[in-house]
């Protein structure tokens, strides 16, 4: 099995499309990191006054006069707190690891890597069927299950290693940037960020495996992309027409719940006297959601590969 895995890793290494996707998996996160660091570099009050004029000082004065209306604790240093609040209100947010983890660069990079690895798994399996090389591979190893599993392991390993390296480097870089700027971070912010890196690694590897398994089932890259596109389109339509509760089953909702911990959405209808419009998708719910999808596709893909004729 190890020998087969090495062969599949070599085949991945020699595929130009795979190398291009891996390169994008490095370049795009680097661009996101640089953009995050640059856009979170706070401007001084003098720079903001030059850009926005006297509105800055007027807003600071109003905040100091009525701090509660601006969300400032009257018992704190009102002058400093109001200055920070007004600076932030003009898009001058400091670098905050918690904010980046919950709705910033963290989920964005994981989403990009997941889509790229989904394409990697799809193009890797689709190439074997399109060129007919799967026939030659089975001549050397007739036990189909071993071949199928070796390919799956190779795709998952590449996606997992890439995601772990990129995500750990991203959060380490943001932590260093925040330290150099002497910015205080929430307690355990870095630990929570590294936890998200591990969760993101699992999700990215699973995305590559899903793309591979679905393409081995459908035996066509185009068919796989069509199914994924149609699923996303139907999800958008169901939300647009107001189908109550449909957001609970959307990939994006479960993605955010998995990488952040919880996803909140709102519904307009009441169910059994409960008129609270707020609904939640927790990480445990998202784990079940993704495992069911992945399990069904893997079982169907492996079963058909073992039983169907190979053209």
Judge if 102 and 212 occupy the same domain: yes
Judge if 167 and 252 occupy the same domain: yes
For residues 29-50, average pLDDT: 82
Q: What is the pLDDT of residues 132-182, one digit of tens each?
A: 676 666 656 567 788 888 889 999 999 999 999 999 999 999 999 988 888
**What's the domain range around 247?**
2-41+95-307
C-beta of residue 132 within 8 angstroms of C-beta of residue 55: no
Judge if 183 and 127 occupy the same domain: yes
* Domain total of the chain: 2
For residues 17-38, average pLDDT: 93
Q: How far apart are CA 117 and CA 103, in angstroms?
A: 22
Residue whose C-alpha is closest to residue 296's, from 210, 172, 233, 189: 210
Enter the pTM of the model. Answer: 0.83
Judge if 21 and 127 occupy the same domain: yes
Judge if 104 and 84 occupy the same domain: no
Judge if 82 and 206 occupy the same domain: no
Judge if 223 and 258 occupy the same domain: yes
Q: What is the 3-state secondary structure (H, E, C) of 50-74?
A: HHHCCHHHHHHHHHHHCHHHHCCCC
Judge if 15 and 137 occupy the same domain: yes
Judge if 11 and 82 occupy the same domain: no
Q: What is the pLDDT of residues 99-125, one digit of tens each?
A: 889 888 999 999 999 999 999 999 988
Q: How far apart are CA 80 and CA 88, in angstroms?
A: 12
Q: What is the pLDDT of residues 265-291, one digit of tens each?
A: 777 665 555 566 777 889 999 999 999
Does pLDDT of 74 surpass 70? yes
Judge if 33 and 58 occupy the same domain: no
Judge if 16 and 54 occupy the same domain: no
Judge if 55 and 145 occupy the same domain: no
C-beta of residue 72 within 8 angstroms of C-beta of residue 209: no
> Which of the residue ranges 70-79, 243-252, 297-306 has the most confident prediction, judged by mean pLDDT?
297-306
C-beta of residue 132 within 8 angstroms of C-beta of residue 311: yes
């Amino acid at each position: 099995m190890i020998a087969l895995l090495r062969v599949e890793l070599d085949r991945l290494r020699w595929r130009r499309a795979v190398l291009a996707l891996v390169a994008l998996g490095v370049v795009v996160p680097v661009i996101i990191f640089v953009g995050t660091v640059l856009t979170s570099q706070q401007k001084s009050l003098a720079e903001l006054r030059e850009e926005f004029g006297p509105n800055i000082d007027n807003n600071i004065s109003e905040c100091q006069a009525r701090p509660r209306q601006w969300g400032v604790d009257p018992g704190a240093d009102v002058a400093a707190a109001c200055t920070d609040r007004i600076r932030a209100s003009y898009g001058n947010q400091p670098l905050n690891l918690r904010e980046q983890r919950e709705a910033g660069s963290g989920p964005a990079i994981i989403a990009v890597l997941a889509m790229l690895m989904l394409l990697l798994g799809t193009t890797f399996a689709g190439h074997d069927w399109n060129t007919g090389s799967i026939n030659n591979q089975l001549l050397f190893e007739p036990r189909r299950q071993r071949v199928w599993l070796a390919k799956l392991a190779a795709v998952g390993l590449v996606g997992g290693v890439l995601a772990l390296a990129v995500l750990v480097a991203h959060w380490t870089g943001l932590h260093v940037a925040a330290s150099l700027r002497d910015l205080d971070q929430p307690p355990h912010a870095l630990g929570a960020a590294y936890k998200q890196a591990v969760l993101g690694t699992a999700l990215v590897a699973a995305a590559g495996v899903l793309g591979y398994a679905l393409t081995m089932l459908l035996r066509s890259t185009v068919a796989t992309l069509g199914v994924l596109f149609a699923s996303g389109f139907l999800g958008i339509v169901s939300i647009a027409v107001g189908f109550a509760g449909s957001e609970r089953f959307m990939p994006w909702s479960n993605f955010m719940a998995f990488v952040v911990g919880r996803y909140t959405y709102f519904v307009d209808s009441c169910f059994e006297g409960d008129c609270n419009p707020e609904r939640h998708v927790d990480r445990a719910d998202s784990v079940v959601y993704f495992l069911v999808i992945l399990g069904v596709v893997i079982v169907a893909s492996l079963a058909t590969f073992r039983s169907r004729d190979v053209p």
